Amino acid sequence: MFIIILPCVFVVVFLDLLAWQSPPENEIPDWRIALLQTVLFLGAGLALMAEFLSLFNALSLPWLFLSWAVLFIIAAWLGWKRGWLEVGWQRLRQNRLTLDRFDRLFLAFIGIILLLLLVIALLSPTNNTDSLQYHMSRVAHWIQNGSLRHYPTGYYPQLTHPFLAELSILNLFLLWGNDQLANLVQWFAMVFTFVGISCLASLLGAGRKGQWAAVAFAASIPMGILQATSTQNDYVAALWLICLGIFVLLAIKRAPGWLEILSMAAALGLGMLTKGTFYPYALPLGILLFFGWFIRLLRRNPKNTLVRAGVILCIVVALNLGYWVRNTISFGGPLGPKEWVNTMTTESSRITSLVSAASRNFLMNFVTPYDGINNRMVKGLQKAFQAGDPSLADFYFIWGWNHEDLAGNPLHMLLVLATGVFSLVFWRRFAGTGLLAYLAACLGMYEMLGLLVHPDVYGLRFQLPFFVAWSPIFGAVLARLTRAWFVQLAAILLLFAALPWVFFNRSRPLIAMKAEPERLAIPCDWHFGCTMVGSILLEPKTTILFANNMVWREPYTAIAADILSSGCKEVGLRIDSHDSEYLFWKLLKAPQSGIRLENIYPFPELQRYRDPSFKPCAVICTICGDRQQVHGLGLTADHGEVKLYQGQNYVPETGP
């Protein structure tokens, strides 16, 4: 019931913003711009609202709902009083398109893909490894604490990583009552990104068919399809990147108004608050903005230019200040412990590292199911670049075409190369469109990602925003250099190419790929990435929950059952950084069940956050070896790597 407040706020703010648009003379206000601004401003409001409520330990359902309700009342009252709602509705009606047969076919096709992904997102419990380790775990801690404050943990990313995507999950969690809608944050990010891509393609000179081709390019990115039904955050980062690109291009093409300045600032601030990889992605767009708008305006009106730059800076800082301050207090730096940050970034910035990073990231999209071929690619990289790039010494490839952490994008990488070459060869045809400048920024994004982010065998997911950002270039180039029928054919073929990743997601399959015959499954062997579980339409949710590590299902469910039957309400966690903490929250239905979970063996710098009054009657331990007693509690269940200790005489310990 409470969840209804979100679409109500969204619709009212959207109509208000559409009424505020000030398009050039004789142009109809673009509803896509207003829609993206609505997402941006509500995202900023969400972040600031959470920070404010967190100060008073009021990050809970009543206060959250009240905050959204107040925002709705203000937006609705102003919209009615000043006539914005009526103007916005009229402008929305003016934006209605006349659709031809291909338009209807394309929209129907992409609508089916989005609907299938929506079914997967709603039916599947979150089971991504990173999500279970920290994305969802931090959400559970925030709800339990009623605050974003730091807490004791044995895994730094729960505290150090940017968190806007998880804040969005927290809102859905509290307003819905459980985590069933958690996967929708990425799904909605995908939908809004498609809107942004069509808008950005139009700014680059693409007509409607070219915009469809751009959307088809994005909709068929394998990594994007797989992530769109998870609680990862790369698609959310991609959304902010597309928004930033739109308002940077608008600023270069014409003098931006204050609404566009605020939108640009919100996109930058929200991107930084979503994922660390957004920093290298945003840098080339910042350079493009500096030379394409800031310098030009500075010469004409220095005072106004500096005021606008100051406003952008203030908004970015305001959105990220709480995150930076908490990390600085706990770890001495805004992004976390220096040693941890160093493990996330590269060690070298030499020219050889630039070439090495680009080559490595390129080849990761072409990993095969054959170790011999993969090993030869790695050895080729090491032979060519290891002398100048020591990080390649331990690098290797993993095959996983339908896994959300490993899926390559070989077709899209080839299309990137092709459209990049054609745009440079026929560069005169794109004069005045801004495409070449935007293309240079996208190439800069790819280099910055490789140069600044430490190589990771699972790092393919970091490339998703790049492929999404390239989508408008693909649509614009294809539309400018080919005939309309070819653009239409390419768009439809790309959507067809997306279907294997829609149906055969290894962790959340609609149709399973199994060695043994079963319902809603097709035969497969290891070359084809057999799914880890059966179809989500048939499998119990508990099975889907453990899809990425089935060996944990029996011990974890048994331990949860023991705790629930005992009536214990305070549970200590003595676990390692690689353990999927959220599984315990999920199985114990915490914090909704009233069971409190706390890490009792955190990093030393987090000891200050331990609650001395917390005395658990059960301790779940994955690092206790053969010990028969922990913290004064006796061993009651031994499942190998995971053990359960229970009792009423808890004694604090600090040793291993």
Give the residue from 191, 193, 171 showing the smallest Cα distance to 181: 171
Task: Report the pLDDT value the prediction gives residue 428, as an integer from 0 to 100.
Answer: 87
Task: Report the pLDDT value the prediction gives residue 25, as an integer from 0 to 100.
Answer: 62
| Residue-wise pLDDT tens digits, 328-384 | 999 999 999 988 787 777 655 566 677 888 888 999 999 999 989 999 998 998 888
The upper half-sphere exposure of residue 436, i.e. CA atoms within 13 Å in the direction of its Cβ, equals: 12
Task: Report the pLDDT value the prediction gives residue 588, as an integer from 0 to 100.
Answer: 97
Peptide bond connecting 125 to the previous residue in cis, omega within 30 degrees of 0: no
φ, ψ of residue 278 in degrees (nearest 5): -65, -30
> Which secondary structure element, helix H or strand E, spans residue 586, and what is its range?
helix 582-587
Give the residue from 71, 64, 275 showing the smallest Cα distance to 171: 64
Give the residue from 229, 138, 220, 228 showing the smallest Cα distance to 544: 229
Q: How many Cβ atoms sit within 10 Å of the Cβ of residue 61? A: 13
Q: Where are the alpha helices (DSSP H) in 426-570?
A: 435-452, 464-481, 484-503, 541-545, 553-566
State the chain's mean pLDDT as an integer. 93
Using DSSP bridges, classify how beta strands 570-574 and 629-630 pair: parallel, antiparallel or unpaired.
Answer: unpaired
Task: Report the pLDDT value the prediction gives residue 348, as an integer from 0 to 100.
Answer: 56
φ, ψ of residue 50 in degrees (nearest 5): -65, -40
Task: Report the pLDDT value the prediction gives residue 375, as an integer from 0 to 100.
Answer: 92
Using DSSP bridges, classify how beta strands 618-621 and 570-574 pair: parallel, antiparallel or unpaired.
Answer: parallel
Report pTM. 0.96
Using DSSP bridges, classify how beta strands 618-621 and 633-639 pair: parallel, antiparallel or unpaired.
Answer: unpaired
Distances in Å between the Cα of 4 and the Cα atoms of 124, 518, 541 are: 22, 39, 26
> Which secondary structure element, helix H or strand E, spans residue 597, and what is its range?
strand 596-599
Task: Report the pLDDT value the prediction gives residue 387, as an integer from 0 to 100.
Answer: 77
Q: CA-based angle 506:508:514, to the nearest 5?
A: 50
In the chain, what are the domain boundaries?
A: 1-96, 351-480, 512-539, 550-646
Distances in Å between the Cα of 373 and the Cα atoms of 380, 386, 397, 460 are: 11, 19, 10, 18
In the chain, which stretches have pLDDT less than 70? 24-26, 28, 346-352, 526, 654-656
